[in-house]
Amino acid sequence: MTKADLVDKVTSLGDLTRRDGEIIVDTLFESVIGALKAGDKIEIRGFGSFRTRQRNSRIGRNPKTGEKVEVPAKRVPFFKPSKELRDSVNPDGVRHEAISS
């Protein structure tokens, strides 16, 4: 699903113009991004939670040259789905496990 598909879905729910749907979707995304930039956690009951995690600096390798490269510390966004979302994606309660040969 793309952002345009999401806007179409929101627009079809009521008497909304395409522009109104775009404003709603953009406002939602901007709110999530703004909260994560501020270091806040967003929790949407029944869907999941968004937060940032700190990654420490490390030594990496350039895959083309094999040269060692210093990778700086950074914050990365992280999403954790709720139990309800996990159960709706896997309704039988079956967990996907790696098959070893």
pLDDT digit string (tens) for 23-76?
999 999 999 999 999 999 999 999 999 999 999 999 999 999 999 999 999 999
Q: How far, in Å, are 5, 30, 46, 91 from residue 95 at the CA level?
A: 29, 34, 19, 10
The pLDDT, as a whole number, for residue 14 is 86
Give domain limits for the chain.
1-40, 41-90
What pLDDT is recorded for position 101?
47
Homologous superfamily of 41-90: IHF-like DNA-binding proteins (4.10.520.10)
In 3D space, the residue among 68, 48, 46, 49 whose CA is nearest the CA of residue 58 turns out to be 68
Contact (CB, 8 A) for 76 and 52: yes
Spacing of C-alpha 21 from chain mean position: 20
What is the value of pTM for the model shown? Answer: 0.74
